[in-house]
C-alpha cells in the first residue's frame, strides 16, 4: 500500500542554519505531495504542495521538489528562524476511482531552532 | 472564503462516558470531510471520511463512530470512552473545486480520558 517515510527527529538547529527534512514515499499512480506544519498546541497548516513530477512547492522560505525518479519530496529552507520550531509532516494524497483524497502522513519530524 | 471550525477545543472525560466532537465547514458545498487522530508522540491516523450526507467510511476498527447529518457538518462520537481514546482529534475538509486536491484542517480538539 501507499506509505510515507520521514527522517526521524528531533532535529535541532541553530538560527540561520540550513534545514533539510527528508521524505520518501511509496505509491501507485501519481499522488499529490504535501508538507504540513503543526505549531505547538495547534492544528495542521498546509505549508506547501506539489501535484506532479518536477513541480516545486514553496512558501515562507521553505521549498520541496517532487522527484518521481527518487520518490522523494524533501523539505528545505536556507536559513531557519526560532519561529520555525514545529512538527513537520510529509503527506501524500491518494488518487483513484473513488477520489476520496485521503491523506497518508509520515510520522512527523520535530524541528527545534535555538537562538 | 472557506473556513472550518471544530469544538470543543479541549475536554477531559471519564472512562465510560460518551463523546461528541463537532465540526462544521463554511463557504463551500459538498466537501469531503475527514476525522484524524494524533496520539501523543505519533503521526496522524485517518479514522473516518465522508464524501456526502449519510455516507461514512471507517478506516480502522475502534470504539468511535462518525455521522454526517448535514452537508457541512461532521460529528465524531463514542458511547463509552476508553483510556486509549485520548489524543488530538482533527477534522478536515477538501473540495476539488477550490483547493486543487488540498485538505485543510481545523484547530483540533484535545481529548483526555481519565
- How high is the mean pLDDT of chain A? 91
DSSP calls for A37-95: EE-TTS-EEEEEEE-STT-EEEETTEEEE-BTTTTB--EEESS--GGG-EEEEEEEE--
Question: Band of the pLDDT at B53, cuts 50, 70, 90?
Answer: very high
Take residue B105 and report the three cell numbers written for it. Answer: 484542517
Q: Which one is predicted more confidently, A28 or B109?
A: B109
Query: Are A102 and B42 inside 8 Å of each other by CB?
Result: no
What's residue A96's pLDDT? 57
What's residue A68's pLDDT? 93
- State the nearest Cα–Cα gap between A107 and chain B, in angstroms: 4
Q: Judge whether B15 and B71 are in contact, CB under 8 Å.
A: no
| pLDDT single digits (tens) A50-103 | 988 999 999 999 999 999 999 999 999 999 999 999 999 999 987 654 567 788
Closest residue in A to B105 (Cα) is A44
What's residue A97's pLDDT? 42
Using a CB-CB distance cutoff of 8 angstroms, which residues of chain A are in contact with residue B89? none
- State the nearest Cα–Cα gap between A106 and chain B, in angstroms: 7
Question: Band of the pLDDT at B29, cuts 50, 70, 90?
Answer: confident
Average pLDDT over residues B59-68: 88
Pairing of strands B3-7, B19-26: antiparallel
What is the distance between the alpha carbons of residues B33 and B53, in angstroms, rounded to a whole number?
10
Question: Band of the pLDDT at A34, cuts 50, 70, 90?
Answer: very high
Q: Which one is predicted more confidently, B70 or B102?
A: B70
What's residue A99's pLDDT? 61
What's residue B43's pLDDT? 78
Amino acid at each position: 500500500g501507499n506509505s510515507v517515510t520521514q527522517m526521524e527527529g528531533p532535529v535541532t538547529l541553530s538560527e540561520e542554519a540550513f534545514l533539510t527534512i527528508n521524505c520518501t514515499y511509496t505509491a501507485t499512480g501519481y499522488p499529490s505531495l504535501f508538507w504540513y506544519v503543526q505549531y505547538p498546541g495547534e492544528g495542521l497548516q498546509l505549508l506547501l504542495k506539489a501535484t506532479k513530477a518536477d513541480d516545486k512547492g514553496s512558501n515562507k522560505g521553505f521549498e520541496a521538489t517532487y522527484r518521481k525518479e527518487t520518490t522523494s519530496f524533501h523539505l528545505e529552507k536556507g536559513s531557519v528562524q526560532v519561529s520555525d520550531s514545529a512538527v513537520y509532516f510529509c503527506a501524500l494524497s491518494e488518487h483513484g476511482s473513488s477520489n476520496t483524497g485521503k491523506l497518508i502522513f509520515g510520522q512527523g519530524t520535530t524541528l527545534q531552532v535555538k537562538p | 472564503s472557506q473556513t472550518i471550525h471544530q469544538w470543543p477545543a479541549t475536554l477531559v472525560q471519564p472512562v465510560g462516558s460518551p463523546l461528541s466532537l463537532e465540526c462544521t465547514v463554511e463557504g463551500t458545498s459538498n466537501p469531503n470531510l475527514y476525522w484524524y487522530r494524533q496520539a501523543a508522540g505519533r503521526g496522524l491516523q485517518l479514522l473516518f471520511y465522508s464524501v456526502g450526507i449519510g455516507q461514512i467510511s471507517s478506516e480502522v476498527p475502534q470504539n468511535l463512530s462518525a455521522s454526517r447529518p448535514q452537508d457541512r457538518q461532521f460529528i465524531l462520537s463514542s458511547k463509552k470512552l476508553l483510556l486509549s481514546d485520548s489524543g488530538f482529534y482533527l477534522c478536515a475538509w477538501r473540495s476539488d473545486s477550490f483547493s486543487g486536491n488540498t485538505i485543510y484542517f481545523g484547530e483540533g480538539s484535545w481529548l483526555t480520558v481519565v
